[in-house]
Amino acid sequence: MFLKRDGLKHQIAIIFVLIGVVALGACSQNPLYQSLTEQEMGVQQAADAATALIIFDNQLDQQASYIVDATGRVHIKFTEQVSFVDYNRVVEQMRSDANIRSVYAEQSGSEVCPLNQ
């Protein structure tokens, strides 16, 4: 009886290990989980720093959230409380910054300013 129960525990443990290996393999194929090169990290960090500075200088740090990819592209979302004038000023400042490759900006789920390449 103990032999059968121990054998079952062993089989269950093997199944969990295999599931873990498969899950980790799937994650490693996802580009979001791949390591960035030093150059990509530098580009991303420079764009992130420029974006943060612009947002803080315009006192919109509580009304905007953003993500920066490894190529320096910024996707930023503004809350409804941000006026069109403020929104436009910040997006133009971001687009004129040499460290930011392009800006995709939206407010309330709608793109207000077209994508700048």
Residue-wise pLDDT tens digits, 47-69: 999 999 999 999 999 999 999 99
Q: Are residues 59 and 105 in the same domain?
A: yes
List Cα–Cα distances, 52 to 10, 68, 99, 109, in angstroms.
52, 11, 12, 21
Q: Are residues 47 and 94 in the same domain?
A: yes
Percent of residues, the chain, with pLDDT higher than 90: 56
Q: Are residues 44 and 28 in the same domain?
A: no
80: containing domain: 38-112
Tokens, residue 29: 């194929």
**Average pLDDT of the residues in 77-83:** 94
Q: What is the total count of domains within the chain?
A: 2
**Average pLDDT of the residues in 92-117:** 81
* pLDDT score recorded for residue 12: 72
Q: Are residues 60 and 84 in the same domain?
A: yes
* pLDDT score recorded for residue 2: 47
Q: What is the pLDDT of residues 7-27, one digit of tens each?
A: 666 677 677 666 665 555 555
Q: Are residues 82 and 67 in the same domain?
A: yes
